[in-house]
Amino acid sequence: MKTFLLIYNPVAGAGEFKHRLDEFIAAMRARECLVMPLRTDSKEDVPILLSIIKIMPVDGVLAAGGDGTIHETANYLLTENIDVPLGIIPYGTSNDMAAFLDLPKELDACAEIFAAGYNKALDVGMVNGMYFLNVASAGLLSSVGHSVDRTLKSTLGKLAYYLKGFEEVPRFRTIPMKITADGRVIEDNMVLFLVMNGGIVGSFTKLAPQARMDDGKLDVVIVHRCSLRKMAGIMISLLSGTHFAHKEVEHIQAAEILIESGLAIGSDLDGELGPELPLKIRVVPQRLRVYMKAD
């Protein structure tokens, strides 16, 4: 019998998963898998709860919630050098990594993947000693995930992110930044930058069509300074994936990236608050094993 630890966020995605917890446990038990559920009420709980893995070996760790829950769970495994596969049950308002990897939300399908045991080693990003799975960012949109009201997220879901993003446009300001990517230097006043391991951020699809999570590269999307009117147009084009038609939008790939600014600018890692600039970012190839559908 395979054994799994399950970290679940009871409020993620309007709290739907907690009402289906028994259904998931039954689906796993039907496949001869034992699940030990651990409820987390804050991100500070995650390392405390997962520390049980040091005295009780398991076949895998499962995380049910949004990108924040996945981020905290993966960071514990990576920081503690615990080499067990991570299983993702995408039950948050936004599940960008799961969407990019085409992971199912249906509980029976999730149970089938975990029980089968197939997993793949994926790249992760590291910034100033912290790991991220999907994206590191700063500038316009980077604070949207923190400022969206929880009730609004529960009611409107992904639409809440879109509405908040458009609300931020009239207040945007450019940031003087210097980005050094594998030796190439880009220095300008910028509206935002995204350093992506995957290609979906904030539920916006096709932000980096070439992105892969196993290519040893990170994808950098930069929006250079532009007028308010132009920025509104770029925001709309993000929804359709046509943003690269704008000359103000630039895309590069790199393994090592340094981002600097003369201003005190905070960052965002997978929807969680990250360190202030400067950011020393690098890709760590094939660092995290993730349960996936077999090729």
d(C-alpha 146, C-alpha 192), whole Å:
16
Half-sphere exposure of 129 toward its Cβ, with a 13 Å CA cutoff?
3
Q: Which of 176, 180, 262, 268 is nearest to 224 (CA)?
A: 176
State how far the Cα of 46 lies from the Cα of 250, in Å rounded to an integer: 37
| Annotated catalytic residue, options 112, 168, 272, 276 | 272
Verify whether residue 276 is a known catalytic residue: no
Long-range contacts of 98-104 (CB under 8 A, 24+ apart): 98/70, 99/200, 99/203, 99/205, 100/134, 100/198, 100/199, 100/200, 100/211, 100/213, 101/198, 101/213, 101/290, 101/292, 102/293, 103/292, 103/293, 104/293
Contacts for 220 with CB less than 8 Å, ≥ 6 apart = 179, 181, 193, 194, 195, 196, 251, 252, 253, 254, 257
Burial of residue 19, with CB atoms counted within 10 A of its CB: 0-12 exposed, 13-18 middle, 19 or more buried = exposed
Residues known to be catalytic: 272
